[in-house]
A and B are shown apart, each in its own frame.
Chain A
């Protein structure tokens, strides 16, 4: 179902167009994701799993998890959650692994037989930043400010990363964009880049990062090689899955996915939702669901206490939504989509308490059970990997300047350890400044020093207090290990 009224958002939808789904004509809006268009038409099942033929829908909605693969215009394994809808597109439920069209004509031209390496066009840049979210854009602003020629690459057509779906206001001081909604912060970060030697390359996927800091890029089905003197990885994070019976059933969605669907595309995920996770994301998304007119049956969390800010929890409770701590979801049921969820209490050892089971009638289960840093590019390049549970698991080892074990390769934001957008912006700043120091011979050292100490103390302020304890501990462990 599409949202027509929203207290905060206005949806600037594209042209209404016709497309085909399994032979049926449907209507959607040009440029919205295929997944959103299907969902708006009440379609939740996108594919069949390969081995057990189970129905699958989307899960992450940001091109990370490959749950939403479908055959589009004859090409299998298309991530429909990030592929824009076009007029007359032919979208098909994918069964099995997908078959390729065997009608492709033979390309004319000579055989590519070059037997030697190198000798081809490679674009170059001083600094390449992967990810145009809060960390990447802040890094670009500060590196650019120091005079570094910078390219920011992002696979999405719109910059801002996950900020583009954050309708809530940030906390803290003005410096940390408090009292501003996430959706507006992105615009401000872009505005900060004007007049600087910074270029944005949107709609461009980084396929790989090679040992000589060469990036393999895919833009509009064209391959580009870009060699950079330094690289900042601001690649964000992926939503965690939770294992329970039928957890792959369409209707079990990541919290980020629900936000994308609802706040970017203006499509509600369902009529009645169970939110799993009472951290800030769970609480905020539960509230956003209420704002969009969706019923929230409950917010549950296995921990004995609410993890998020109490002000967020209070808003939910005032709206009459119960927050059940020491509770978990045991299973969901439904033929090809969620129809109900069974929850139960857990004891001090996180074990289900027999007899405490309850069944909730819901059509959507939203998982807000943490994130995992996206460090694949760093690991592919050979950056040292380390495991810090407080930072979200496996992360690229880095020093306080955000430099990894490979000189000139930095990592910032959620990719360097799960925190919040506000800390991501400061980490981006620090990484941008560190890259500038590395790359610029004639840099204003005094100014650099001042900006760095400003950012460092800012980061300290943000991580102060009980809510910053996990990140503090995680970073302490990280810096003790060293990059």
Chain B
């Protein structure tokens, strides 16, 4: 393990791997990525792999659209298959609030140039997917360029490309604390020794909170368990991710043929609990077989849970920490880190390299919480 680095990235999820890659691509090759277990072992590897551009605030929609642009060519750039598929996202509205919000979203997204459209319930079968039960559906929005990819393959692709450029990746290397002298970062202490570095990227998901505390920095992230399940593989029969905020569901068919999906319990207690529950299994099965009755004979083969690292405005925390030079945050993705990872990671690397980011991300600095300037996005599952 290197003992001196220009930057140490903590966390081997999609964000850590992508930041490592973009830093190396930008010339900062003496980087070390530290992962306490294996690549994608945290939230990244547990997520549904959806890539959605349909957001309700302009900055989020912009980030997501830019990310899709990167995703479209990333397989070539990284020389790897990440199962990227533009199968679209079908978003179902059930309530008055949904309908009102969807119309607003549609206006905003169209203004930004997104190819989203409004569908009436009866159009869904002929236009998008045959097997959706539209009972109770008021309307839907559909964006054919929304996408999905395999989170494991995407992370691995970024990580391997980073290694080819000179980055060192250390797996099963937990960080015990970050080292700070006065108002600057000086290193990272791991279970396998110390790495001297002036820069640290904290990309450890919910575990970013205890890590930041080792240098007396508080970040407003609350971990919440989110559960998900996967069925046996079937021949491909639908392409889009199907979601609803008010009904509470998201699911898609992955390349291998399995259907993967989940929903969130409103009364989920905060904490690091990652156990699977029977409540989720039964409710998710009921929801799935209601919305897509063809799935009712399909067997669930696995369920698991992961952690959403939720911030007060459900937006990530990106940027250098006020008062601690060299301490960069890349956490708090609140459940949608995978889909915006390429753009966010690229922007953060520009910031670290001392360049001017090509899209404003200052709004995502943690200082927004002390300034009380938060803009809530309504499009969070």
Residues of A within 8 A of B (CB): 50, 75-77, 96-102, 104-107, 109, 111-118, 207-208, 210-211, 214, 216, 223, 225, 382
Instruction: From A76, A107, A112, A225, give the contact of B278 (CB < 8 A).
Output: A225
Contact A214 B294 (CB under 8 A): no
B58 to chain A, nearest CB (A): 29
Given the known inter-chain contacts A77-B232, A100-B295, A208-B281, please indicate yes or no for A115 contacting B248, CB distance below 8 A: yes
Residue of A whose beta carbon sits closest to that of B232: A77
Contact B266 A115 (CB under 8 A): yes
Q: Give every chain B residue within 8 A of A102 (Cβ-Cβ).
A: 130-131, 237, 294
Q: Give every chain B residue within 8 A of A104 (Cβ-Cβ).
A: 131, 293-294, 296-297
Residue of B whose beta carbon sits closest to that of A101: B294
Please, how many angstroms separate the alpha-carbon atoms of A98 and B231 in the complex? 13
Residue of A whose beta carbon sits closest to that of B238: A102
Which 5 A-B pairs rank lowest in CB-CB distance, beginning with the nearest? A115-B266, A112-B286, A104-B293, A99-B235, A106-B133
Q: Give every chain A residue within 8 A of B281 (Cβ-Cβ).
A: 208, 216
Instruction: From A100, A117, A214, A382, give the contact of B298 (CB < 8 A).
Output: A100
Q: Given contact pairs A98-B232, A111-B287, A115-B265, enumerate 6 new A-B contacts (beta carbons under 8 Å).
A: A100-B294, A100-B298, A104-B131, A104-B294, A109-B290, A111-B135
A211 to chain B, nearest CB (A): 5
Contact A115 B267 (CB under 8 A): yes
Please, how many angstroms separate the alpha-carbon atoms of A208 and B257 in the complex? 23
Could you give 27 example pairs across A and B, Cβ below 8 Å?
A97-B257, A99-B234, A100-B234, A100-B294, A100-B297, A100-B298, A101-B297, A102-B131, A104-B296, A105-B293, A106-B135, A109-B290, A111-B136, A111-B287, A111-B290, A112-B290, A113-B247, A113-B287, A115-B248, A115-B265, A115-B266, A116-B266, A208-B276, A208-B281, A214-B278, A216-B278, A216-B282
For residue B73, CB closer than 8 A to chain A, the reply is no
Residues of B within 8 A of A (CB): 94, 130-131, 133, 135-136, 232-235, 237, 247-248, 257, 265-267, 275-279, 281-283, 285-287, 289-290, 293-300, 303
Instruction: From B133, B257, B279, B296, give the contact of A117 (CB < 8 A).
Output: B279
Given the known inter-chain contacts A97-B233, A97-B235, please indicate yes or no for A117 contacting B267, CB distance below 8 A: yes
Please, how many angstroms separate the alpha-carbon atoms of A101 and B267 in the complex? 36
Please, how many angstroms separate the alpha-carbon atoms of A101 and B287 in the complex? 19
Q: Give every chain B residue within 8 A of A96 (Cβ-Cβ).
A: 235
Q: Give every chain B residue within 8 A of A210 (Cβ-Cβ).
A: 275-278
Instruction: From B136, B267, B293, give the contact of A107 (CB < 8 A).
Output: B293
A284 to chain B, nearest CB (A): 34
Q: Give every chain A residue within 8 A of B131 (Cβ-Cβ).
A: 102, 104
Contact B265 A99 (CB under 8 A): no
Please, how many angstroms separate the alpha-carbon atoms of A100 and B276 in the complex? 27
Please, how many angstroms separate the alpha-carbon atoms of A105 and B292 in the complex? 10
Please, how many angstroms separate the alpha-carbon atoms of A76 and B257 in the complex? 13
Please, how many angstroms separate the alpha-carbon atoms of A113 and B135 in the complex? 14
Please, how many angstroms separate the alpha-carbon atoms of A375 and B373 in the complex? 53
Q: Give every chain A residue within 8 A of B283 (Cβ-Cβ).
A: 112, 114
Q: Give every chain B residue within 8 A of A75 (Cβ-Cβ).
A: 297
Please report whether the interface of chain A is mostly helix, strand, loop or mixed according to DSSP: loop
Residue of A whose beta carbon sits closest to that of B299: A77
B334 to chain A, nearest CB (A): 18
Given the known inter-chain contacts A117-B277, A216-B278, A216-B281, please indicate yes or no for A99 contacting B290, CB distance below 8 A: no
Given the known inter-chain contacts A100-B297, A102-B294, A105-B293, please indicate yes or no for A116 contacting B265, CB distance below 8 A: yes
Given the known inter-chain contacts A115-B265, A208-B281, A211-B275, please indicate yes or no for A97 contacting B289, CB distance below 8 A: no
Q: Give every chain B residue within 8 A of A113 (Cβ-Cβ).
A: 247-248, 287
Residue of B whose beta carbon sits closest to that of A215: B278
Please, how many angstroms separate the alpha-carbon atoms of A214 and B282 in the complex? 13
Please, how many angstroms separate the alpha-carbon atoms of A105 and B135 in the complex? 12
A227 to chain B, nearest CB (A): 10
Residue of B whose beta carbon sits closest to that of A103: B294
Please, how many angstroms separate the alpha-carbon atoms of A225 and B281 in the complex? 11
Q: Give every chain A residue within 8 A of B298 (Cβ-Cβ).
A: 100
Residue of B whose beta carbon sits closest to that of A117: B279
Q: Give every chain B residue within 8 A of A117 (Cβ-Cβ).
A: 265, 267, 277, 279
Please, how many angstroms separate the alpha-carbon atoms of A88 and B134 in the complex? 34
Contact A107 B289 (CB under 8 A): yes
A251 to chain B, nearest CB (A): 26
Residue of B whose beta carbon sits closest to that of A98: B234
A221 to chain B, nearest CB (A): 9
Q: Give every chain A residue within 8 A of B266 (Cβ-Cβ).
A: 115-116
Please, how many angstroms separate the alpha-carbon atoms of A225 and B370 in the complex? 47
Please, how many angstroms separate the alpha-carbon atoms of A208 and B278 in the complex? 8
Contact A107 B297 (CB under 8 A): no
Please, how many angstroms separate the alpha-carbon atoms of A210 and B280 in the complex? 11
A83 to chain B, nearest CB (A): 13
Residue of B whose beta carbon sits closest to that of A106: B133
Please, how many angstroms separate the alpha-carbon atoms of A174 and B275 in the complex? 47
Residue of B whose beta carbon sits closest to that of A75: B297
Residue of B whose beta carbon sits closest to that of A227: B278
Residue of A whose beta carbon sits closest to that of B133: A106
Q: Give every chain A residue within 8 A of B136 (Cβ-Cβ).
A: 111
B267 to chain A, nearest CB (A): 5
A103 to chain B, nearest CB (A): 8
Contact A111 B247 (CB under 8 A): yes
Please, how many angstroms separate the alpha-carbon atoms of A97 and B135 in the complex? 30
Residue of B whose beta carbon sits closest to that of A114: B283
Q: Give every chain B residue within 8 A of A100 (Cβ-Cβ).
A: 234, 237, 294-295, 297-298
Please, how many angstroms separate the alpha-carbon atoms of A93 and B237 in the complex? 20
Please, how many angstroms separate the alpha-carbon atoms of A106 and B296 in the complex? 11
Q: Give every chain B residue within 8 A of A114 (Cβ-Cβ).
A: 283
Residue of A whose beta carbon sits closest to that of B130: A102
